[in-house]
Amino acid sequence: MTMTRGADRTKSRASAVLWGVLGIVVLAVLWEGYKAVGPVAGVELFGTSILPKTDDRSMPHLVDMLTRAIEPVNTSAGSPPVWVAVIGAALNSLGVAAVGWAVGSVVGFLIALLMQRLHVAERAVLPWLILSQTVPLIALAPVIVAWGGKIQIGAFSWDRWMSVAVIASYLAFFPVAVGALRGLQSPDAIHVELMRTYNAGWFRTLLKLRLPASVPYLLPALRLGAASAIVGTVVAEVSTGYKGGIGRMIIEFAQSGTSDPAKAYAPIAGAVVLGLVSAAIVALIGLSLKRFNRQEAAS
């Protein structure tokens, strides 16, 4: 039975990889196909552009993008290839996003614990959690930078990357809080009553029943939180002016898009890969919890 489940999981992962590769191929065919047959001026509907222009400035060929990615960033001596610069910027963003995701996950889980423990807290806090996600990051970023700049504790001083991490955690904590709350509340009433007959208190019930039951709900929430942290990091790098990350590189390369359009797509591809890497990291974490993850594995 165990070997059958292992074989099924292996087939499922292989199928996921094949579907992922197929998706990339389909996107490439659609891109080049539309560029070949689409109108140069794009497609408009009632005066609104719904499909882009197909000139080389708006839609470079994929071969041109790949060729430009292995060329130097600029003409200065010692300039690294574009792909090397993109990897460096992506790793910088990944580190900041990881800090934001970790902080957001801890905060979200603690909030979920509070709401599960006190029903009055759930009724009071949950609406504010939902409302918090309506605040635009562009408006939030300057406030966090301004507040952070005033923090000075001994030799410690607030750095701009910390503002980016705070914004990333702001987006990451919400899905973790909601997913963890659902997971902590998922045990059947009969199982909770059984723990009470054993004279198990809230903390022991949490460790023995609620936490294991929450894993199938928590892992998807962590994946969503990781993706949200990446998005928050990229947007926050632009909004706060933090340099060195993939978000800032997207803006810098886009400014040269008129004369070098193929170059501008390299950091965009880097941001996409960054999201996939973050999801893979959470999946690796999930492997250590697979014995509690039967529901998600079955789905």
Strand 152-153 versus strand 43-45 pairing type: unpaired
Q: Which stretches of the chain drop beneath a pLDDT of 70?
A: 1-13, 257-258, 291-299
* CA–CA gap between residue 104 and residue 174 (Å, rounded): 8
| Residue 216 CB neighbour total at 10 angstroms | 22
pLDDT of 107 reads: 95
- Tell me, yes or no, if the pTM score tops 0.75: yes
* CA–CA gap between residue 94 and residue 91 (Å, rounded): 5
Long-range contacts made by residues 237-241, C-beta under 8 angstroms, separation at least 24? Answer: 237/93, 237/164, 239/137, 239/138, 239/141, 239/142, 239/167, 240/141, 240/142, 240/144, 240/145, 240/160, 240/163, 240/164, 240/167, 241/160
pLDDT of 246 reads: 92
* CA–CA gap between residue 88 and residue 197 (Å, rounded): 56
pLDDT of 88 reads: 93
pLDDT of 166 reads: 93
pLDDT of 297 reads: 39
pLDDT of 4 reads: 60
pLDDT of 9 reads: 62
Q: Which two tokens stand for residue 163?
A: 């503002």
